[in-house]
Structure 1
């Protein structure tokens, strides 16, 4: 028998209508608090982070300079104070890069498919300099390089001090502008080894190298950045790849024979072009997969490259003179390397060792969890572990713990005083010297 009273669906419908009416008339609105409760996030590093704040989206990069964190998104850039995580300013931009350091630092921003860029003050967002002609910009710890192409096939590369108003030098670089654009386009040099949950740019801008290579029209122009001149032009063959490492130009040749690839590396000294050293059988892992086609740069620091010898053992080579800085035993692998240190995982994958190139020995060791990865920045060696999810920052020199936290967030920046971690749309700052009980 049907009941004559209202059913539960009717009551619920009337209740929802009443709430909507009250909210729209301004009498009572529960939705902001309700959404705040739904969107509430967990702490990124509880007991370790000095602050955590919601940011404008998933960042492309985060860079620490002085007391400011610069956050780059796809269509904007923001600055946050390191003291309390308060947003200082925002600018509409499609790309951004940090140049300089400390009091000389600036933020370079621009738009895709639009010539020119602006140089902003990182603390206030105020415009310090405007350019209307450059098509590509590179930002370094001590300089800005920009490329402009006023006519087809004719381009100019200029170097600036980060806060300078006049270029330090300008050099003609014909025939390359159409392949290079926006912020920090890839150049033929070395690349950092990948580490899970650590952004490849976490260490911030690097110093301007003595040599850079500008690719285009099937050639690589080698630019002497101290003199502001083209030191050499190299035309790699179909089976070759050129990489500029430190003060040398490396030419890697990979030839397919008998179902395998045979490699050799020659290091040249510009501008003379004379070979300085050569290694047959050295694989710098510039080819992807089983083929010999070379599609990527070698891994390493600005003057160190990581290779594999014909027996499959990894080794680190000084690009300047070809010396072996380290040759691994079977099963050992390099997880991270820069010009000063290498982080090496043992064959049983249970120990991480830090080797100093200046001393030529192991300076510290640490137990390593299963699936752990590592990265090197100028300020911290960073280890990420999976079970439990954890991040540990160590002094590269001594192995002393700077900070650690149980978190599955990603390290986006490592500065002189701490780490910036991002999880979803939340960002947190972990100062060195902070650590939760583990």
Structure 2
């Protein structure tokens, strides 16, 4: 009897395989979908949407959700995830803010980009010469080069498309392409459970630095002028932070590295502030003076470590201490207004304007965090909490293993695999 059952199962398997291979009937996609279908992304989500692939990025632009894949871009309505439009593109980025937001798309190894309406996908403006684009809340900055040493930066208003300024920059275009290539500024603190761009586009800084071979060209974004060209020494790294040019020097001695930071004010080289013994973590190895990365921090704030191993947050503009910790405290997120600090199993929100902790949460060992204009995201284990930055009031608290990709005024977008969900704030 058992052998008869095994024989029937074998015949059935062979029959199904033959039908599938001849195209008569193929149950395998449905079977695989049933196997890989899991529970909801998070309990209480307003909506969930199965995507056509694993997203590269997800952003909220007004009342639209923009999903970037490797070779395409899709848009969904924020209210109910209704598909709005799709377009072929290798990269996408958001410029502007709120109802004035736009979507900037382009192709790799192809000059030019398009500025699209996030709700309809209609083209508002197109460029055919730019090789690199940076997107901000209040500007789109692009780089066009017509020759090896003939490059030009141009800033545009995201909403109207009007040109704000343009300036010649020499030969900086060889190492910069696509959307938001890295510039010498601050390196944002990130968490594996939260996307690097969860806060959306930043405001356009007062100064931007652009690498040009072994020098940095500094642009004043208020006037659109080249104000300084800096050539760092072999033991130095330059970052443009808070309207200042920071020069970090690492000197090897006694088997370790001694650091110093000097902040100057372009176009002059007057020293605004100086710190000896301040390590801005520009080297991968603390005892290695080879500085291969930007200072840690966020926007106009830099994160350093003093010679005693205590972290300190410093205003890049005037060098003031914004927060000074003990050896057990660690900064896990920072922007211009707040910092999230972890010690043991407690995280707290530090307000720079009030010079004190304005909220705290316990039982959050190994928590990661991100600061956005609308909420602080705290993640530990399978718990995601959204807090009001100024008070710590809980706006959402859910159990999920999904990654938070975007935060808007009224909720956040979380993605697990190919499933996207909108978690509304209370």
Scaled by the length of structure 2, what TM-score is found?
Answer: 0.95
CA–CA separation in structure 2 for the residues paired with 1:11 and 1:188: 68
Give the structure 2 partner of residue 423 of structure 1: 416
Pairs within 5 Å for 1:80-119: 80-119=76-115
Aligned residue number for residue 401 of structure 1: 394
Provide the residue aligned with 2:356 in structure 1: 361
Whether the 8 Å CA contact 2:93–2:179 is kept in 1: the answer is yes
Matched, 1:305 2:302: yes
Note the residue ranges of structure 1 that are not aligned, 5 or more in a row. Answer: 434-438
1:432 aligns with 2:425: yes
Counting only pairs closer than 5 Å after superposition, residues 29-428 of structure 1 correspond to structure 2 as 30-31=27-28, 33-46=30-43, 48-289=44-285, 290-346=287-343, 349-386=344-381, 389-428=382-421
Q: SS at 1:300's partner residue?
A: strand
The answer as to whether partners of 1:196 and 1:384 remain within 8 angstroms in 2 is no
Counterpart-to-counterpart distance in 2, 1:208 and 1:216: 21
Offset, 1:17: 4.9
Cα deviation code 1:372-397 (max 9, x no counterpart)? 222211111111112xx111111110
Measure how far apart 1:187 and its partner are.
Answer: 0.4
Is 221-230 or 31-40 further displaced after alignment?
31-40
Tell me if structure 1 keeps the 8 A contact 2:242–2:315: no
State how far apart, in whole Å, the 1-side matches of 2:289 and 2:84 are. Answer: 50
RMSD: 2.0
After superposition, the C-alpha distances for 1:261-316 in whole angstroms (9 at most, x for unaligned) are: 00000000011221101111011111102311111111222211110111111111
Q: Contact 1:390–1:407 (CA<8 Å) still a contact in 2?
A: yes
Q: CA deviation at 1:352?
A: 1.5
Deviation at 1:38, TM superposition (A): 2.2
Tell me: CA distance 1:8–1:251, structure 2 relative to 1, closer, same or farther (3 Å): same
| Separation in 2, partners of 1:326, 1:26 | 67
- Residues paired across the two proteins, number: 425
Deviations 1:307-339 (A, max 9, x none): 011111111111111111111122111111111
